[in-house]
Structure 1
Amino acid sequence: MVREYLIFDPEGDVVLVFGDEIAIRPQMLVSSKHLSLASPVFKAMLQVGFQEGQQLSTKGTVTIPLPEDCDSAFKILMMLVHAKYKHIPDQLILPTLTNLAVQVDKYQVHDCVGPLIIEGWVKKLENDHASLTGPDESHLHNLAIYFDLKMCRTFEWIAIAWVFRIPHLFTMSTKFAILHLKHPVSTTSNNPCRFKKFLDKLPIPRQVFDKINSRREQHLNTLSEALREARDHLEDPKNECCQVPIDFIRHNCRMKKLQHFNMILKAHGLNPLPEPPYPELSVKTMQPRLKPIFIDAFCGTSDHEAYFKDGKGRLGYFVSVARKLCDEEPGLGFQDIFEDGA
């Protein structure tokens, strides 16, 4: 199979080779001057202190293999570096835009990608991104492959927003991650997330992961504490049922409510009450898990809104807390990350 040969400068002196002997991808003829002006990484590489620079100096040309880089995204990057603007596509698919962000960050060529170009690409993909914040699909939380795919797309958007400094995109995407992640997320070796290898490739600083994890755990702490208060309320003899006048029936009524409450928590995977780091649990899925709960009792008070109404520590309070956390979570801003020195 013959490699495609792309010429960005007919007088170019650098040949970029993608793929390997198994995966044959294009070669690109480019200008060392353009590369050096655009990228401090290539500028250093093409100095005489490096093998590539020595070969360029002595032979007048050099071949640089880039087996790990995406050739389709690099092609767009070279169009930008060599000012071939009329050839730049007006629309990109999400994986290509993600790979472009990876390479812009890797080779430090941020200035080559103007904000108007990025804005145009992102705008065309807005409908794709809207699916992340659209209708609640938490009923699909057992479909691990579907969930992992959606979270991977979320972190692709976070990477794009971070590299190209798009505030609203960063806020929207980090909010989705905070509310939907079922594990702390990072690129460390002990990361429990199933999509760790995917995250390793994205240009997202550790501080972003730390902030997302911290906000997620903070919300889950609040929800777990609300459930603990509801259970403590039922365990307290001072809170005997007030619907009947006979003491032992009042006691038995409270105990039945407590028993039923614990059974329901267990059926939803919440008994014993969850503890940090809250594996397989997200802020978004806790609310619909408990929203339809009804507590049976001897006195006939079965509707949780009747018994657990308004008071702090009741189940109604938990539902309102969960709803408020989901509605009011603002997502992250760049200032949240910069203040930590990213």
Structure 2
Amino acid sequence: MPSTATSYTQGGSQTGDVEESKATSPGKIIADPRGDIIFLVGPDDNRTSIQVSSKALSLASPVFRAMFGSGFLEGTPTGSGVPRTVALPDDNPAAMSVLCYILHFQFDQDSMGSFKVFESLAVLVDKYQCAQALKPWTTSWIQRWPGSSEGEDNYFNMVHIAYAFDLPEVFHKATLRAFCDVPSTEVLEMEKTLDGARILPASLYPSIYRRQRDILDSFHSHFVRAVKPFLDYAATTKEDGSECVCDRAAKIGSYFISLTSLGLWPSRQKISSSTLACLLEDIERVTSPTDKNSMANLKKCNRSSFKMDFHNVLQEREDDEVVIWSPLNNRPGKSDVLKLWKSQGQVNTAFLMSSAPRITAASGYSWAPVTPYTRPQPRSADLGSNIKQYYTVRYPSYDGQGSFVARSNTNPAGLISKWLVWDMDSETLSTYREEFYHRNKWSAHLAMNPHIHPGMDVYEQRDTAAACDLIAESLNSGGKVRVLRPLAEDGITPYEGGSNRGEQYGLRAAICISGDDGEAWKWQGVFQWLESASHPAWAVKEMRIE
């Protein structure tokens, strides 16, 4: 709302209503020309005077009410009609100007000049206990600076703000982001250096630090646990007593070389200075000593005293990932991923846009990833004549902060959310294929496809071809097919990802099918989809994925 306050220059000459006073204007500011109090805000070398009404401030703040009560010096009238001065040397002048304008109903939205002013205002709101009076403006401010874009390296700024303005959902998101993106070595230092830290409960920073250390320290034990079966297995003989050629040492060496190349070994040193988000990204690229492709050679080492089920070793590592994943979702460490998802009431839809495998054994959770990590997933595209073109995909999972939040239902089980959707039919698919479904000679595929003649035309956009094959098969069987992408928090605009986290969603989309005329849908996977979100066929719809 426009400001009508009278403005004064530094020298004191009145300019009346000729110029609206801004929150960051130096000198003297009039919030109420008949005000009985003049605040002297800030240190001597940067002092701003603000004329205010003690009555207006007292109605909004119990602290001001006490300050201007008869028992305090500030509440003693001068008797001459001259406003009494009150020094506030520790307060930020720009933030106090914004606060006084709001409490006098003379606030110009553009006066919130920077995120720094927003931070300082949060400190004042906590100090003077007037968050409720600022509620009408809070939402627009949070949307203006959703993730502290002017201070991307310090998510604790938004934690302070959310706490001061009593915004529990924003506080949860900001704390989780700080938990994942701020190294534990810096958390306690920030408590000492950030102005907003003093308004938070004294236990918050130490609690975050301890929780980070618990999870980060667990990475070390899980690194060792993954290779322990091979370290324990010292025997290398066959049943006939002859020596067995076993690549156990090579696999262990490859594993630790992989850890070292990613900076994850020695793990204690790396873990102490990394963020959880960076560690999770690095761990996705670790070469496992229990890689399924290497099991054949190891199984040849079949001495009777070594009865290792390597499938169980692989499963144990997947369970380890879920145990680590659970605390990141504010849940006790559990190895059962289905229990983890059942305990979650909601999820950011963009988090689901990865190639991670999904739960298949439980109805209502076809959308739920079984792991936060996205290792390369094998896929194939049909070339005809019973010939398959094999390839792998790895679409990383990001936290999806800022995307539309879906809710997880239990009865009936499923994920209910709005999406940007494209309902497919045979004609639409045919048009899409004409534009993107092409084959040519491409030699890069030969490493994974030695069975294909080098001169044969293949798909360069293999995942697009696989998506089209899946859609065609579903349509031919009488089902409905829907291509979907996540929306932003507003439930209207397409989600673009957070550049501060390096999110690169590219041209990908999820495919869902329905056999009951669209009442419920089943998640089929995330595929390359080359049509941009600006195509007119996209529409916003709510759906239940089971």
Is the shorter-chain TM-score for this pair beyond 0.5, marking a shared fold? Answer: yes
| Alpha-carbon distance between aligned partners in 2 of 1:44 and 1:306, rounded to the nearest angstrom | 73
- Equivalent of 1:19 in 11, 27, 42: 42
Question: How far is the alpha carbon of 1:237 from its aligned partner?
Answer: 1.6
Tell me how far apart the structure 2 counterparts of residues 227 and 240 of structure 1 sit (CA, whole Å): 24
Q: Alignment length, in residue pairs?
A: 291
Residue 82 (1) aligns with residue 78 (2): no
Q: Distance in 2 between matches of 1:15 and 1:69?
A: 14
Counterparts of 1:253-292 in structure 2, within 5 Å, are 253-274=247-268, 278-292=271-285
Residues of 1 paired with 2:87 and 2:104: CA distance? 19
RMSD (Å) for aligned C-alpha atoms: 3.9
Distance 1:195 1:41, change over 3 A: closer
Question: What is the CA distance between 1:79 and its match in structure 2?
Answer: 1.6
| Preserved contact between residue 15 and residue 64 of structure 1 (Cα < 8 Å) | yes
Deviation by residue 1:185-221 (Cα, 9 ceiling, x = unmatched):
65xxxx3x36741255553223433443344334324
Contact 2:191/2:197 (<8 A) preserved: no
From the superposition, tell whether residues 111 and 30 of structure 1 become closer, same or farther in structure 2 (CA, over 3 Å): same
1:96 to 92, 117, 126: 117
- The residue type paired with residue 229 of structure 1 is R
| Counterpart residue number, 1:163 | 164
**Residue 9 of structure 1: which of 25, 29, 32 is its match?**
32
Question: Where in structure 2 are the equivalents of 1:1-342 lying within 5 Å?
Answer: 2=11, 4-23=27-46, 25-54=47-76, 56=77, 61-85=83-107, 87-89=108-110, 93-114=114-135, 116-126=136-146, 149-152=151-154, 154-183=155-184, 191=188, 193=189, 196-198=192-194, 201=197, 203-237=199-233, 247=243, 249-250=245-246, 253-274=247-268, 278-294=271-287, 304=291, 306-307=293-294, 311-312=312-313, 317=318, 320-321=321-322, 324=325, 328=329
Unaligned runs of 5+ in 1: 132-145, 296-301, 331-342
**Structure 2 counterpart of 1:224, which letter?**
H
What CA distance in whole angstroms lies between the structure 2 residues aligned with 1:239 and 1:211?
46
TM-score calculated relative to the size of structure 1: 0.68
Contact 1:179–1:326 (8 Å) recurs in 2:
no
Tell me if structure 2 keeps the 8 A contact 1:17–1:27.
Answer: yes
Structure number with larger C-alpha Rg: 2
Give the drift of 1:22. 2.7
* Separation in structure 1 between the aligned mates of residue 259 and residue 71 of structure 2, nearest angstrom: 65
> Which protein is richer in helix relative to its size?
1
CA contact (8 A) 1:293 1:304 kept: no
- Partners of 1:247 and 1:177 lie apart in 2 by 54
- 2:183 match: secondary structure: coil
Residue 339 of structure 1 corresponds to none
Larger relative strand fraction: 2
When residues 261 and 199 of structure 1 are mapped into structure 2, their CA distance, relative to the original with a 3 A threshold, is: farther
1:102-136 per-residue CA deviation (whole Å, 9 max, x = no partner) reads 1110111123212x32112222334x55x7xxxxx
**Looking at both structures, which has the greater relative contact order when contacts are Cα pairs under 8 Å and sequence separation is at least 6?**
1
C-alpha separation in 2, matches of 1:328 and 1:240 = 43
Partner residue in 1 for 2:457? none
Distance 2:284 2:235 in 1: 23
Contact 1:181 1:282 in 2 (8 A): yes
Q: 1:205 to 1:279 in 2, by over 3 A?
A: same
SS in 2 for 1:274: helix
Letter in 2 for 1:280: S
TM-score normalised by structure 2 residue count: 0.45
Deviation at 1:223, TM superposition (A): 2.7
Counterpart of 2:66 in 1: which secondary structure?
A: helix
8 Å Cα contact 1:230-1:314 kept in structure 2: no
In structure 2, C-alpha distance between the alignment counterparts of 1:94 and 1:319, rounded to whole Å: 40
Tell me if the contact between 1:283 and 1:322 (Cα under 8 Å) persists in the aligned partners: no
278-287 vs 90-99, greater mean Cα deviation:
90-99
